[in-house]
Chain A
Amino acid sequence: MLISKNLQENTENIKAIFKDCDDIVYRNIEIGKERIKALIIFVDGLVDKIVISEFAIESLLNSEDLKNNMENIRANIAEKASTQHLAIHDVKEEEDLNKVVDAILFGETVLLIDGADKALIMSTRAWPARGVQEPQTETVVKGPRDGFTETIRFNTALVRRRIRDPRLKVKTLRVGRRSKTDVVIMYIEDIVNEKLLQEVYKRIESIDIDAVGESTALEFLIEGNYLSPFPQAESTERPDAVAASILEGRVAILVDNTPFVILVPSTIGTIFQSTEDYYTKWPMASIVRSVRFFAAFLTVLSPALYIAVTSFHPGLIPSVLAFYVAASRINVPFPAVVESFLMELTIELLRESGTRMAGPIGSTIGIVGGIIIGQASVEAGIVSPLKIIILAVTTISFFAIPNYEWALSLRVIRFIFMILAAIFGLYGVMLGIVTLMVHFAKLESFGIPFTAPFSGLGLKDGDLKDTLAKAPLQKLAFRPKFTFPKDKRRYRRR
């Protein structure tokens, strides 16, 4: 539906659409000597009222030019007002009523002038927003501490600051019928692979849903394999991580109302990378990387291995250890399986209650609960001490994995392995590992095989140098191959 030239008609239409919306403000003014009627509409709370008052209303009301004017004001009043009288930094014309309504809901201010068939949309967005703070989920010891906020424009700015290249492109899409959430795709034009970009567009544009609340919802909608327990994209709160990823040829997807930005594609190598690695010297960083893989291994398999070795194959551990373990378990009433399940479920409970309570209470519950439960169960003779150690190892390794979503998925898998170990011992554990490996081999993240660094792109292309270890920057002259970038070199020695 179009804007009509008649202000009265427009006003009635808009007021009908916004019936029962008491936070919409309607400001009538008259412009110029001829007293042309005009209406300013905005949402109270989404706009910067000072800008409207001083730069829109005042300019129009006090304009000498308009006051003293002459003929043909009415003719192109809209255009004149916009180009000559509105001292606002961004003004657009719009003739579609629905788009005007959208604009109002986005925090723009709309100026309707009697006799003009276009509405003027002034950019006045301002709403209560958090300032830039240190990201809570990914802290580093030595590195920048700015994190994304909920306002998408601030976020794009934070990335722009780090890549001052006009080839860094920022494309906006809107997702969600009712939420009309701003989704921004950022990439570097001459690095990113065309097909990857098209795949991203295709997937986002094919979403038809009422609302996209924040980035994880979007992430799960555009994933290729939604049944898999493993996420196929990453998200981060850190602008430096996003900038680095874009420079590697990945695509960043920013979503309004959330500080978490989605990065695609993701591979098993990127899951284990953390920004901290790039701020540490390479020997330490390499060891830490390998430790992380080991931690993932431990968090999934420790309880299962405990069950398998104690219940099925005590021949595998040295005799002295076997005897000690047997001695420590003499009066324990439960078999190793039941013990493991009990303890692991208890730890999950603890973790969940720790998350509920924020701040110091949460961490205290964690520590106190852990100590009490561990100590007390051993003393009560319900659980063997070895199990508590295994439990501690599992939980601590969980926190060593940089990607939180992944760590959670691995925790879930842990229980499946425990069941397998309980039935088939080590053979069951291997069956599980084999199935998991095939699952990873099948998994693709936006067309890139998930296991890319390990399964086919070879040693030379820099992927393994930055996955299992962390080679110094001088050795990573080429971008990683898993993104199939167009411009391959990123570091040149002079």
Chain B
Amino acid sequence: MHKKNTISNNQIKNLLITSVIGVGILSLPSNMASILDNDGWLAILVGGLLIVPLIFMVDRLFKMFPNKDIFQIGEEVLGRILFTILLIVIIIYTILTLAYAIRVFGEVIKGYLLDRTPIKVIIITMLLAACYLARAEIEVLGRMATMVYPILIGLIIFLVLLSIAEGDFTNILPVFNADFTLLPKGILISLFSYAGYEIILLAYTTSDNKKDALKYTLRGLFIVIGIYVITFFSTLSQLGVNQLKRRIWPTIAIANEVDLPGYFIENLDGIVLTLWVLIVYTTLGPILYTGGRALAYIFNTRSHDIFILPLIPLIYIVSIIPDNIISVYENMGIILGYMVIISAMAIPILIYLVALIKKRRRKA
């Protein structure tokens, strides 16, 4: 029978995918094209490949400590005090990421769907809805991700069909003509789009088949990379590299440009955006959940749901600090870029390395 608090590897994979793909996908092609012109996809690809060793590392870490969850491992490896400090960093990262994501979300919805509704209302309602998911257990997150995943794939397939129908593939040329000294900068920025993968740190312990978990998480990562690269090519072929650089949210723009012969549907951007609400939601929920779990560990409570609601005002306040969307992307974006590297990458690497060292020392 279905055991409590376990999720299947397939659900973990779907959780990874839907958590990572959120607000970033809207502006990623444009950001990459601004740096690397037609070769922006390279930065996306390399950025994603850089995450692969991290996934291996996570798998190894959990195999070193079978049946322990990440909090127990962290405490054992780093000691309670140091680990708690690191967790506080992670909680700040969570709040920042959520504030950024929800602000961008609010701006997009306000721009395209609800012109006059105050952005604060959009933010608060979405945050409250995200609470509902974040307060649940990991298995509910897994199920939700599995339900949303086909919708996400459907959207991507739609994008692909669009670009085949409307796109001019010569727009992808010229290739390899960009200034490759900028490649590291591009990779750095693309790394940020993979934030959210750290949900697997929480989900790994609850997998029902730990042996094969690695296969699924890797598969999930590759699907994310694939989706990002496809989106890049899709927007590039339809908009051309100059327009791509100019538009802030190219992914929505291409839905707008559909001109079906029969012209039954116009202005598909409304429909695409409506579905995109779902995709952002599955990013916000798990990240909020992570924050709650971290707080639950620090305060040593049984369940994390009481911490979710208090986080909301914090996130709201941070999200309305920037005055406009440019400020969001520049200021918050940059701070977040660094925080991602610290929280999502450096901290897990740290835990792993210390665990390795301790293990070696024990053997010796």
A456: interface (CB < 8 Å): yes
Asked whether B281 lies within 8 Å of A484 as measured between CB atoms, the reply is no
- Known contacts A442-B136, A484-B1, A431 near B143 by CB under 8 Å: no
Give the chain B neighbours of A140 by CB distance below 8 A.
none
Interface string of B252-286 (1 = CB under 8 A from A): 00000000000111110011001001100100010
B122: interface (CB < 8 Å): yes
Asked whether A430 lies within 8 Å of B278 as measured between CB atoms, the reply is yes
Asked whether A431 lies within 8 Å of B129 as measured between CB atoms, the reply is yes
Asked whether B8 lies within 8 Å of A427 as measured between CB atoms, the reply is no
Give the chain B neighbours of A380 by CB distance below 8 A.
none
Asked whether A427 lies within 8 Å of B114 as measured between CB atoms, the reply is yes
Give the chain B neighbours of A429 by CB distance below 8 A.
274
Report the interface size class on chain A.
Answer: 35 or more
Asked whether B114 lies within 8 Å of A455 as measured between CB atoms, the reply is no
Asked whether B136 lies within 8 Å of A316 as measured between CB atoms, the reply is no
A448: interface (CB < 8 Å): yes
Instruction: State the CA gap A455–B139 with chains docked (Å).
Output: 10
- Known contacts A316-B267, A433-B278, A434-B281, A425 near B113 by CB under 8 Å: yes
B142: interface (CB < 8 Å): yes
Asked whether B114 lies within 8 Å of A312 as measured between CB atoms, the reply is yes
Identity of the chain A residue whose Cβ is nearest the Cβ of B133 in the assembled complex: A438
Interface string of A18-49 (1 = CB under 8 A from B): 00000000000000000000000000000000
Instruction: State the CA gap A345–B277 with chains docked (Å).
Output: 30
Instruction: State the CA gap A316–B136 with chains docked (Å).
Output: 35
Give the chain B neighbours of A438 by CB distance below 8 A.
132-133, 136, 140, 144, 285
Give the chain A neighbours of B143 by CB distance below 8 A.
441, 449, 451, 455-456
B107-154 CB contacts (< 8 Å) to partner A: 109, 113-114, 117, 122, 125-126, 129, 132-133, 136, 139-140, 142-144, 146-148
Give the chain A neighbours of B265 by CB distance below 8 A.
318
- Known contacts A196-B1, A456-B8, A456-B11, A427 near B146 by CB under 8 Å: no
Instruction: State the CA gap A418–B278 with chains docked (Å).
Output: 19
Give the chain A neighbours of B147 by CB distance below 8 A.
437, 440-441, 451, 454-455
Give the chain A neighbours of B285 by CB distance below 8 A.
438
A172: interface (CB < 8 Å): no
Give the chain B neighbours of A426 by CB distance below 8 A.
113, 270, 274
Which of the residues B1, B114, B277 comes within 8 Å of A434, measured between beta carbons? B277
Asked whether B277 lies within 8 Å of A431 as measured between CB atoms, the reply is yes
Instruction: State the CA gap A64–B281 with chains docked (Å).
Output: 86
Asked whether A427 lies within 8 Å of B7 as measured between CB atoms, the reply is no
B265-316 CB contacts (< 8 Å) to partner A: 265-267, 270-271, 274, 277-278, 281, 285
Q: Which of A312, A430, A455 neighbours the largest number of chain B CB atoms within 10 Å of its CB?
A: A455
Asked whether B140 lies within 8 Å of A442 as measured between CB atoms, the reply is yes
What does DSSP make chain A's interface, helix, strand, loop or mixed?
A: helix
Asked whether B146 lies within 8 Å of A435 as measured between CB atoms, the reply is no
A195: interface (CB < 8 Å): yes
Give the chain B neighbours of A316 by CB distance below 8 A.
266-267, 270-271
Number of interface residues of B (CB under 8 A): 37
B10: interface (CB < 8 Å): yes
Give the chain B neighbours of A430 by CB distance below 8 A.
274, 277-278
Give the chain B neighbours of A317 by CB distance below 8 A.
266
Identity of the chain A residue whose Cβ is nearest the Cβ of B278 in the assembled complex: A434
Give the chain A neighbours of B271 by CB distance below 8 A.
316
A309-334 CB contacts (< 8 Å) to partner B: 312-313, 315-319
Asked whether B8 lies within 8 Å of A424 as measured between CB atoms, the reply is no
A193: interface (CB < 8 Å): yes
Instruction: State the CA gap A451–B117 with chains docked (Å).
Output: 34
Instruction: State the CA gap A313–B114 with chains docked (Å).
Output: 9
Interface string of A232-248 (1 = CB under 8 A from B): 00000000000000000
Asked whether A455 lies within 8 Å of B142 as measured between CB atoms, the reply is yes
Instruction: State the CA gap A433–B126 with chains docked (Å).
Output: 12
Interface string of A131-163 (1 = CB under 8 A from B): 000000000000000000000000000000000
Identity of the chain A residue whose Cβ is nearest the Cβ of B139 in the assembled complex: A449
B2: interface (CB < 8 Å): yes
Q: Which of B148, B264, B281 neighbours the largest number of chain A CB atoms within 10 Å of its CB?
A: B281
Instruction: State the CA gap A440–B266 with chains docked (Å).
Output: 33
Which of the residues B114, B136, B148 comes within 8 Å of A425, measured between beta carbons? B114
Instruction: State the CA gap A318–B142 with chains docked (Å).
Output: 38
Asked whether B133 lies within 8 Å of A456 as measured between CB atoms, the reply is no
Give the chain B neighbours of A193 by CB distance below 8 A.
1
Give the chain A neighbours of B142 by CB distance below 8 A.
455-456
Asked whether A315 lies within 8 Å of B267 as measured between CB atoms, the reply is yes
A229: interface (CB < 8 Å): no
A458: interface (CB < 8 Å): yes
What are the 5 closest A-B residue pairs judged by CB atoms, nearest first?
Answer: A455-B143, A430-B277, A441-B143, A195-B1, A455-B146
Interface residues of B (CB under 8 A from A): 1-2, 7-8, 10-11, 109, 113-114, 117, 122, 125-126, 129, 132-133, 136, 139-140, 142-144, 146-148, 263-267, 270-271, 274, 277-278, 281, 285
- Beyond A313-B113, A456-B142, 7 additional contacts (C-beta under 8 Å) are A316-B267, A426-B270, A434-B281, A437-B148, A441-B140, A441-B147, A484-B2
Q: Please, could you name 7 A-B residue pairs with CB atoms under 8 Å apart, sorted by A?
A: A316-B271, A427-B114, A427-B122, A434-B278, A435-B129, A451-B143, A455-B11
